[in-house]
Structure 1
């Protein structure tokens, strides 16, 4: 039977069973069983890599979800502490989370004791499902309070559906498991020999981004506030807010390594992303001041050396630059009033 027809049949069967057994408990459990039965395929193993004394990662080589990569587009980070492992961003599906659990069980004989979701885009938190299944429903899952609200609201189901569409159903079976423990700017979590300090500086990539500083390692996981060789999604964000966040991170955080949600970690991640964004936003700002239309602003952006020198190495540049020029132009217009 063709996959989509089978899914429709299973869903209809679940509805009939729910109606039949409505007087009894277990309808929710039955729906979950249908979800678990209709599942996308397992994700191939991706190796762990050590980044600093306490920080390891599973690197995602792809910047965008496809049927071929099954949604494997976001770096997963693990902090090895005396109390157990802390996961920073759990991936885009239950299958990716299960792959990560296979990898960490090869490396360590210790449990996952917490998850931190950096923001509400689904490639960073839909893997929560796998970790809760493996380590219990009471596993602490942290995020900014705004991220918690968004995932509990529209963003949760929307991102689950989007990942299914983008991957041709490869992520099927993933349940929405929201974070529930709020963290604000300046909060600290201590796990024996490791301190995690949280940073939030207003709207950057989203209104609620958390950056996670691993104090002892002088390393900060920046989520999608900055990316390496990938043009960041700014639909929910702010160029000016991102510049502010970079400035505060550079002043207030003593990190030598910036670990992004997409791309390679390194000392130059913020500087690379800042130059690209300055090359997009400042020409739009100039165009608005001079009363030039959007088309002229795009020409200025494409000629800007900060953009031209990075265009070829930036994943998603050609398909996304027009949209991000439009967003920058609209933000510059709003800022001019």
Structure 2
């Protein structure tokens, strides 16, 4: 199905391959130059733009239908070892070109995805959909634009208006810098290429022999999430609205609106397989995530009604069978459950007024 990249101990340059050691040495030299004064700092910034992190190891695509493939990320969070390969990249062949849904977290990941794509089909990439404004879903745009959008043929990159606004604002550069930091500069050389075409709920795109129906159903994971339904194949890419064996980040989201979004997606699509941006596509992705979220949010609602403080609410959440039964299999559970309980508690408090 796929194979994970071989882990590298990037915290120890001596243990890295020779090419990686040279890259780390150059990056360290640039950082040192930046500390010596304004002129050297400017030079270091110019040189940094020419530095590019190492390639991402190939991951073979998983075929979901005769026309839909997913390059499935083996990990849930970015690290120096996985070079930021944390989010799935989806391909849809239309007979007239390939549509990419979420392009990955770096130019290197985008380039790896293109290598895999060329083994599947001779079709060029003709469009990209970015599901939302978190960087692991759009920082790979650069590779596809460089490969397929040169000259007069501007490659359309579709996203909700809220997503475009955020990426062109603070989120774009913030995520690019964060990804470099989290990967120990493995994603260096990536530039932010924002989506260029705004879309909204209910729009349909007929590309080749495939219909792409878009769903924006409120403030779920972010204010601007779009889910992309590939009608003929019975699949819907839900981005981070739901994840498989990982808690969907709710820092920018809403539990209540996420539940509403699940209900509307189920009612208004004929989806057989849900494609999460993190984890394994399946028919049960929404249900798995709903039960985990319900265990968190509904327990917090009851705690607020009972006048309990946050710590007591967390203790109740951890005992809820919908949460406890998923703890061992959920990536990042121990490090993140406290934050997600806090967010649920705050939302429950606000709803009680």
1:54 CA drift (Å): 1.5
Hey, what's the Cα distance between the residues in 1 that align with 2:191 and 2:35?
Answer: 18
1:117 aligns with 2:134: no
8 A contact 2:245–2:329 mirrored in 1: yes
Hey, what's the Cα distance between the residues in 2 that align with 1:146 and 1:335?
Answer: 24
TM-score (norm 2): 0.88
When residues 250 and 305 of structure 1 are mapped into structure 2, their CA distance, relative to the original with a 3 A threshold, is same
Aligned runs of 1:166-185 on 2, under 5 Å?
Answer: 166-185=182-201
8 A contact 1:35–1:174 mirrored in 2: no
1:35 CA drift (Å): 5.1
Hey, what's the Cα distance between the residues in 2 that align with 1:209 and 1:273?
Answer: 16
8 A contact 2:99–2:126 mirrored in 1: yes
Hey, what's the Cα distance between the residues in 2 that align with 1:146 and 1:230?
Answer: 25
2:159 corresponds, among 119, 129, 143, to 143
1:192 CA drift (Å): 1.9
Match of 2:290 in 1: 274
Match of 1:243 in 2: 259
Aligned runs of 1:3-152 on 2, under 5 Å?
Answer: 3-8=26-31, 34=47, 37-137=50-150, 138-152=154-168
When residues 174 and 12 of structure 1 are mapped into structure 2, their CA distance, relative to the original with a 3 A threshold, is farther
8 A contact 2:33–2:40 mirrored in 1: no
1:242 CA drift (Å): 0.4
When residues 18 and 299 of structure 1 are mapped into structure 2, their CA distance, relative to the original with a 3 A threshold, is closer
1:2 CA drift (Å): 3.0
Q: Secondary structure at the match of 2:90?
A: strand
Hey, what's the Cα distance between the residues in 2 that align with 1:11 and 1:144?
Answer: 38
Q: Secondary structure at the match of 1:77?
A: strand
When residues 131 and 229 of structure 1 are mapped into structure 2, their CA distance, relative to the original with a 3 A threshold, is same
Match of 2:5 in 1: none
Hey, what's the Cα distance between the residues in 1 that align with 2:95 and 2:202?
Answer: 22
CA distances 1:286-336 after superposition (whole Å, capped 9, x unpaired): 010111000110111011110011111101101000000000000000011
Aligned runs of 1:233-312 on 2, under 5 Å?
Answer: 233-312=249-328
Hey, what's the Cα distance between the residues in 2 that align with 1:197 and 1:88?
Answer: 13
8 A contact 1:280–1:301 mirrored in 2: yes
Hey, what's the Cα distance between the residues in 2 that align with 1:218 and 1:83?
Answer: 20
Hey, what's the Cα distance between the residues in 2 that align with 1:224 and 1:42?
Answer: 25
Segments of structure 2 that go 5 or more residues without pairing to the other structure are 1-23
TM-score (norm 1): 0.92
8 A contact 1:7–1:38 mirrored in 2: no
CA distances 1:188-247 after superposition (whole Å, capped 9, x unpaired): 111121000000111111111000000001110000000000111110001001001001
